[in-house]
Structure 1
Amino acid sequence: MESHLNKQREIKTMQALKNIVINAAMILVMLFGFMPAALALEPSFEQVKALAEQDNPLGQTLLGSYYQNGLGVRQDHSKALEWFKKAAAQNSDDAQVNIGAIYDIGLGVRQNKATAKEWFGKACDNGNQIGCNKYKQLNEQGY
């Protein structure tokens, strides 16, 4: 019985690690355009949506990236932002960085550097180095 429970924990841990790797790849796509690396790890849209609908912040962030980039679904910036905000409400620093990037470049929204800085600051507060770097950059630019 204990062996079975250990195996279940191990499977859940491996799934969580896989999700983290996939999420990181998608953030690289969002911020830097490293599409080939992300495509090699891409789970199906349906798998990601099912995870997101279970209020999983990693799944929500990844689903937002799928909508943002049109991966397995028609590109929809508003749905992307909606899913990123759901994950950000659960303190997902990756989602907060994505929202900051959306406002920083004006992707599907009116460009707003002050709002971008606010989101990057939240990500930084949650330990995200990209968020800290972008916050500092916008701060130095006077936003």
Structure 2
Amino acid sequence: MERVYTILYKSHQHWRYMIFMFAAIAIVSLVIGLFSQKKWRPLGRVSSLLFVIMIDIQVLIGLALWFVGERWKGADPERSWEHPTIMLLAVALVHIGSVKAKKGEKDDLVRYKTMLNFAFAAMVVVLFGVYKITKGLP
């Protein structure tokens, strides 16, 4: 079981760089779409969707790590409850923004702005969560 834990831990640790990369791509494409004042283009949609997918994969790895490492027992409150709660807040922000941009808004500029605001807020929360758990930024 120790080997599974190590694999999950390393995967979770390294996957955050994929999240940072896809978040940056999504945010840049959303800013470009916002300032170009064009229709809600596939670049904005796809980059946002890929960001959501990447963060969902990270949550699945984190949940597996939480169960395999028996974190629910609460031996380390920061790793057991604080970090997962902060990160689930970030995931909620990304999903809310994605749904609002996809279904809730009809104006394309508002879609860009909505998704950009939620993606940026989610990344701030993710960076805070990473900072708390690593005692420094990656």
TM-score scaled by structure 1?
Answer: 0.36
Structure having greater relative contact order (Cα 8 Å, sep ≥ 6): 2
Structure richer in helix, relative to its length: 2
